[in-house]
Amino acid sequence: MTTPVIGVLALQGDVREHLVALAAADAVARPVRRPEELAEVDGLVIPGGESTTISKLAILFGVMEPLRTRVHSGMPVYGTCAGMIMLADKILDPRSGQETVGGIDMIVRRNAFGRQNESFEAALDVQGIAGDPVEGVFIRAPWVESVGAETEVLAEHDGHIVAVRQGNALATSFHPELTGDHRVHGLFVDMVRANGTAESL
């Protein structure tokens, strides 16, 4: 595969920051709102924002079902914060009408850090990211309450799981797109590249 084309689900949230981070990590990045746009990308980022809003807009735009189909058939996907919630097979405290795409066998608690601390930063050791710790920016962030046997825990903060991977699906409670450190996006771009290569064999 040459340069992978990676979409950012552009219904609500910090879309622009992810487009910039992906471009800096050597991907071609473009916004995705409609099923036709989703069909054209090699991988997808689901940004931070408000998971209930993203869920409702995804249904409204007719992109929820195609998204589920692609994620469950192995398209690489990366969710940050609200995006992590969207990738959870189960949410502990969903709002009414809130659905997820699923794809990661985990139970997520929305706004878990938020009650104690609306927003904070913490240095994190993230598996698969070499060098200095990753600066984690947490904004009304969820944490992962529990994971299934297939889900790898990549990082914890204060005893709570904040980064996970299951197969081609990656999720973080925090927002690497806000720090100018593109290593987590680089990890995701590598996942997309590896998947593209496998497909073209």
Tokens of 38: 């989703």
Q: How far apart are CA 60 and CA 18, in angstroms?
A: 23
The one-character DSSP state at 27 is: -
**Interface positions, 141-200, toward ligand GLN (CB under 6 A):** none
Alpha carbon distance 64, 72 (integer Å): 12
Does 110 count as an annotated binding residue? yes
Binder among 1, 5, 111, 152 for ligand GLN (CB under 6 A) = 111
Listed ranges 1-9, 70-78, 80-88, 161-169: which one lies at the site for ligand GLN (CB under 6 A): 80-88
Residue 106 or 193: the one with the smaller Cβ distance to ligand GLN is 106
Name the catalytic one among 81, 157, 182, 185: 81
The count of residues in the chain is: 201
Was 50 annotated as part of a binding site?
Answer: yes
Tokens for 130, please give them.
Answer: 């070499």
The smaller minimum CB distance to ligand GLN, of residues 7 and 48, is found at 48
Closest to ligand GLN by CB, 117 or 197: 117
Q: Both ends of the chain: CA-CA distance in Å?
A: 10
DSSP code for 61: T
Is 182 among the catalytic positions? no
Amino acid at 42: D
State yes or no: is 177 an active-site residue. yes
Q: Which residues bind ligand GLN (CB under 6 A)?
A: 48-51, 81-82, 85, 110-111, 139-140
Known catalytic residues are 81, 175, 177
